[in-house]
Amino acid sequence: MKKRKLFGVIAAAAADTEQREVIKGIIEKTREMDIDVAVISNIYNPMEWASMLKTENLIYDLVHSDEYDGIILISESVIYPDVQKKMLEELQNKSAPVITIGALPEGFSLPTFTCINTDDVNDFKDICDHLTDVHGFTDIHILTGYSELELSHKRVEGYRRSLEEHGIPYDENKVFYGNFWNNSGYDHAMRYISGELPYPQALICGNDYMAYGLLDCFLEHNIDITKKMAVTGYEYIRERYCHVPILTTYQRNRKALGIKAVEMLCKGADNITHDDFEPPKGNIISGDTCPCGAKTEDIRYDIRTARKKDIYDRLDLYSLLEHKLIECRSVDKFVETCREEKFRIKNADRLYMCLYENWYEGTGNSSNMVCYDLIDNTEPFMFNKYNISAVFGNEAASYYFCPLFFADRELGYIVLRFKGNDSFRHIFRCWLKTIANGLEFLRMKNDIRFYLQCQDISEERDTLTGMLNENGLKKAYRNTEKDGLSFVAIRIAPGICNCGVGHKEHIDAVLDAAEAVRQFSDGQICSRINEDTFVCLIRDMTDNTDLLAVQLSALLQHNTSYIKKYGLDSFVCTAVPCEDNDYLTTKEKCFARMTEMTDVYSARRTDPHYKKLNALRTMIYSTPQITFDQREIYSHFNGSDGYLRTIFRKCYGFTLHDDCTNARISAARYLITMSKLSNSEIAEKCGYNDPKYFMRQFSGITGYTVPRYRLLFSRSAEE
């Protein structure tokens, strides 16, 4: 349930300076009024259609949500006509009030829209007033945008009004049209340099980009433009540090637009008529391209911004996140890896990866999302795609919803939360691309059709798990010193499943078992030599090879996907020392023992009570903390306590009491080696009230003290 009012902000390329300024005002005002903000934005926002990027605009489906109390549309940021059309279709059915900010593209309007903007006419009049009043210039040119755009002519109109108020004749020959991009500024500079146009006292550029193109051209031709004429830009896009000399420009008061939009929405949401809109005035940002000169505080701000950008650019350049993500073989590991580099998302208070429930299937997307916290180690949760407030916290904040996609595959979206007025930068695009690439690799690893296509990719690698296959293991065995080496094999689902590679649940179970084998081998040699058998070559862990088999079993018993599918008695694990240089001889010794164990397990399954007893054992091993409570255990079985104990021993050959103890010790083996929990914490999770009793019992059953066992098998033994 929503806790507060929610205003939606529809933007495009929200990292651009123009959008950031508007959003800054929106956030400042909504924070003051205890309102949540959801900014929905694409990332690339190309002017020309790019088929590879069409999927990113599916993020605007979130406008469907009925949770918005009001919507702010930053209209001029959406530049592709088809996307504009999609937005209009979404918004025309909204009952919530809609405020648009900025110039509206042709046809991009509805009667229900309330439009606000800064006044381009007055802004350009202010610029021209500055040049005449402060510097006394009377010969002034203007380079505006496309001649067919009303926006371009509004900027010329402000220039004309200023001249006329100062008694300076307006001359159309001093008005030039460009394309609002650097190249038209460069071309216009060449007209001055070549002598085609006489130098004026000052040139007003319709935006900063054209001004930068002009400055770059003069610099390239080794001409000091300050000795020729003054130049002003418009927009203050925060790139002055990249060009020489420092540009004098004009900052539109877009922040005030954001504040005003929120005030108007609040009144509209409460059915209160808002006041007439008065466009906010901007201000001159002085630079060295006019006689004012750059102000120290402005230069300091520009440099500080540039340095921060450089730091995060370098972090991205040297990051190995993409390599690490490509190596991940499960979503859990993927999320864990992302958390390791959470510092790359500057100032985000929360970072969520929301994936479609069936994102990996390549079919139509579910309406349900699974949300993963990429900052804190919390459990994922599920919510409906359009219930966007499901990710909101207890305090008012701003949330950015950005598309997560690969080519034409929509994977979900990323949500960033900021408690302050900050927002994401363009570097976030690189991070998003890395995440999307990593997810696609992970999807392909779990897509059996992909692996069938790639089954011949390597003669020495198993295509499903990426481990060595039997050819690779034979080669490794030949080239490995046998002294202190053990051959550890585990066979999963023997005699139980003949699912074949097409069954997804079986594939998931195999991959889960593979992860347990990797955890056990911890960088040593591991392989999948056939459909149901894994083999590890383990050196110098212990002289007791049986202990190796017990430890690997403990790890698999606590890998939930596998156990959930096949249960406890679904695998056999043995280990033998590598005393023979011949691979086949060692394998036969190990497999002979596995066959004996398989026969024992097969005999158990003929017992008429086996299914019920196995379900009881699975519960005991999954919740070992209940094993001290006999009433709790017996309550799960219909029959007397004595009858349960009798049939249990007959089926398994050991007592229920002993199995409860083994369940606790198995959980302890797993936690000792796979977690950083203290001995007391492990004892508690295994059901022991007395840590000392736990340590005595563990030592008595395993033959090792807890510290010694941790030293043998733990991934962080030094801790």
Q: Is the per-residue pLDDT at 633 higher than 60?
A: yes
Cis peptide before 245 (omega within 30 of 0): yes
Q: What mean pLDDT, rounded, does the chain reach?
A: 88
Q: Of the spans 154-163, 237-246, 460-469, 536-545, which averages the highest pLDDT?
A: 154-163
Taking Cα atoms as reference points, which of 670, 664, 668 lies closest to residue 679?
Answer: 668
Q: Where are the alpha helices (DSSP H) in 529-640?
A: 545-557, 560-566, 583-604, 610-622, 630-634
pLDDT given at position 568: 84
In percent, the amount of the chain with pLDDT more than 70 equals 93
682-690 long-range contacts, CB within 8 A, separation 24+: 682/706, 684/625, 685/624, 685/625, 686/624, 686/625, 687/624, 687/625, 687/626, 687/627, 687/628, 688/628, 688/664
pLDDT given at position 348: 82
Q: Is the per-residue pLDDT at 500 higher than 50?
A: no
pLDDT digits (tens, 9 = 90+) for 304-347: 877 877 777 777 777 788 889 988 888 989 999 998 877 667 67
Edge-first strand listing for the sheet containing 485-492: 525-530, 533-539, 485-492, 571-577
Q: Is the per-residue pLDDT at 557 higher than 70?
A: yes
Give the sign of the dihedral formed by CA 109, CA 111, CA 117, CA 122.
positive
Within 8 A by CB and 6+ apart from 136, the residues are: none
pLDDT given at position 403: 94
CA-CA distance, 246 to 249, in Å (whole number)?
Answer: 9
Whether residue 610 contacts residue 600, with contact meaning beta carbons closer than 8 Å, is answered with no
Q: Where are the alpha helices (DSSP H) in 465-559?
A: 470-478, 504-521, 545-557
pLDDT given at position 54: 83
- Between 419 and 258, name the one with better pLDDT: 258
pLDDT digits (tens, 9 = 90+) for 407-418: 888 999 999 998
Taking Cα atoms as reference points, which of 114, 113, 105, 64 lies closest to residue 82?
Answer: 105
CA-CA distance, 673 to 709, in Å (whole number)?
Answer: 8
Whether residue 291 contacts residue 248, with contact meaning beta carbons closer than 8 Å, is answered with no
Q: Is the per-residue pLDDT at 457 higher than 90?
A: no
Backbone phi, then psi, for 30, in 5-degree steps?
A: -65, -35
Q: How many H helices and E strands in the chain? A: 24, 20
Cα 31 to its chain centre, rounded Å, is: 25
- Between 716 and 134, name the one with better pLDDT: 134
Distances (CA, A) of 553 to 332, 485, 517, 547: 21, 19, 9, 10
Mean pLDDT of 360-381: 87
Q: Is the per-residue pLDDT at 364 higher than 80?
A: no
Within 8 A by CB and 6+ apart from 69, the residues are: 5, 6, 7, 35, 96, 265, 269
The helix-helix angle for 150-165 and 120-129 (nearest 10°) equals 40
Question: Do 1-115+255-275+319-446 and 120-251 show the same overall fold?
Answer: yes
b/e string for 387-425 if b means 16 or more Cβ within 10 A?
bbbbbbeeebbbbbbbbbbbeebbbbbbbbbbbebbbbb
pLDDT given at position 719: 39
Mean pLDDT of 458-481: 87
Dihedral (Cα; 348, 354, 355, 356), 10-degree rounding: -160
Taking Cα atoms as reference points, which of 326, 543, 277 lies closest to residue 440?
Answer: 326
Both structure tokens of 666: 């198995």
Q: Where residue 1 falls among pLDDT bands split at 50, 70, 90? A: low
pLDDT digits (tens, 9 = 90+) for 170-194: 999 999 999 999 999 999 999 999 9
Mean pLDDT of 101-124: 85
Mean pLDDT of 558-570: 83
Question: Could you tell me the CATH superfamily of domain 456-604?
Answer: Reverse transcriptase/Diguanylate cyclase domain (3.30.70.270)
Q: Is 374 helix (H, G, I), strand (E, B) or coil?
A: coil
pLDDT given at position 381: 93
Q: Where are the chain's structural domains?
A: 1-115+255-275+319-446, 120-251, 456-604, 610-713
Distances (CA, A) of 38 to 90, 381, 418, 527: 16, 19, 11, 48
380 CB-contact burial (10 Å; exposed 0-12 / middle 13-18 / buried 19+): middle
Q: For 610-713, CATH number?
A: 1.10.10.60
**In which region does residue 687 sit, left (phi positive, over 0), alpha (psi from -120 to 50) or beta (all else)?**
left
pLDDT digits (tens, 9 = 90+) for 647-673: 999 999 999 999 999 999 999 999 999
pLDDT given at position 91: 86
Q: Is the per-residue pLDDT at 274 higher than 70?
A: no
Mean pLDDT of 644-649: 92
Q: Where residue 48 falls among pLDDT bands split at 50, 70, 90? A: low
In percent, the amount of the chain with pLDDT more than 90 equals 55
DSSP 136-155: ----EEEEES-TT-HHHHHH
Whether residue 321 contacts residue 439, with contact meaning beta carbons closer than 8 Å, is answered with no
Q: For 50-54, 238-242, 352-356, 505-509, which range has the lowest pLDDT when averaged over its residues? A: 50-54
- Between 575 and 427, name the one with better pLDDT: 575
Prediction pTM value: 0.62
Instruction: Give ∠ CA 312-313-317 in degrees, rounded to 5.
Output: 115
pLDDT given at position 402: 95
299 CB-contact burial (10 Å; exposed 0-12 / middle 13-18 / buried 19+): middle
Give the sign of the dihedral formed by CA 129, CA 131, CA 134, CA 135.
negative
Residues in the chain: 719
Mean pLDDT of 585-593: 94
Q: For 120-251, CATH number?
A: 3.40.50.2300
Q: Is 113 helix (H, G, I), strand (E, B) or coil?
A: strand
227 CB-contact burial (10 Å; exposed 0-12 / middle 13-18 / buried 19+): exposed
Q: Where are the alpha helices (DSSP H) in 96-181?
A: 120-129, 150-165
Give the sign of the dihedral formed by CA 314, CA 320, CA 322, CA 325.
negative
pLDDT given at position 497: 45
Taking Cα atoms as reference points, which of 223, 265, 270 lies closest to residue 244?
Answer: 223
pLDDT given at position 716: 42
Both structure tokens of 201: 């006292």
Whether residue 425 contacts residue 313, with contact meaning beta carbons closer than 8 Å, is answered with no
pLDDT given at position 195: 97
Q: Where residue 47 falls among pLDDT bands split at 50, 70, 90? A: low
Mean pLDDT of 38-65: 84
Within 8 A by CB and 6+ apart from 657, the residues are: 645
Backbone phi, then psi, for 60, in 5-degree steps?
A: -75, -5
CA-CA distance, 448 to 437, in Å (whole number)?
Answer: 19
Mean pLDDT of 408-430: 85
CA-CA distance, 353 to 432, in Å (whole number)?
Answer: 10
b/e string for 198-220 if b means 16 or more Cβ within 10 A?
eebbbbbbbbbbbbbbbbbbbee
Q: What's the half-sphere exposure (Cβ side, CA atoms, 13 Å) at 644? A: 18
Domain spanning 1-115+255-275+319-446: CATH 3.40.50.2300: yes
- Between 612 and 449, name the one with better pLDDT: 612
CB atoms near residue 162 (< 10 Å): 25
Mean pLDDT of 114-127: 94
Q: For 273-277, 294-298, 370-374, 555-559, which range has the lowest pLDDT when averaged over its residues? A: 273-277
Mean pLDDT of 452-475: 77
